[in-house]
Amino acid sequence: MHHKFMILHRNKDDRPLLVTGSFNPTGQANTNSSENICIISDPEAIDQHQQEFENIMSYCRPVTKEECAHGKPFTSPYTAQMNGF
């Protein structure tokens, strides 16, 4: 399963929304894929996902050209922590 989430800080009603699931906002996903999507307005759920986004971003850094070499395995620090490496 490929899962993602987006936090829309202001919708048409000027309220934040959490959009989560496998759905990609593309024509292909909209018409030819079996996707799922949940739209949530619960402030606590939105806050928890915002905290998770900030946690994930704390591990981000530019990837070097050498790390992208064909066939070379790469594990991000976030993935290593989440999987106990």
User: Residues for the chain: how many in total?
Assistant: 85
Which has the minimum average pLDDT: 11-20, 36-45, 52-61, 72-81? 72-81
First-to-last CA distance in the chain?
21
The pair of structure tokens assigned to 82 is 């989440």
Residues 23-53 have pLDDT tens digits of 888 888 778 888 888 999 999 999 999 999 8
* Residues in CB range of 81: below 8 A, 6 or more apart: 59
Number of domains in the chain: 1
Determine the structural domain holding residue 56 and report its residue range: 4-82
Q: How many CB atoms lie within 10 A of CB 9?
A: 10
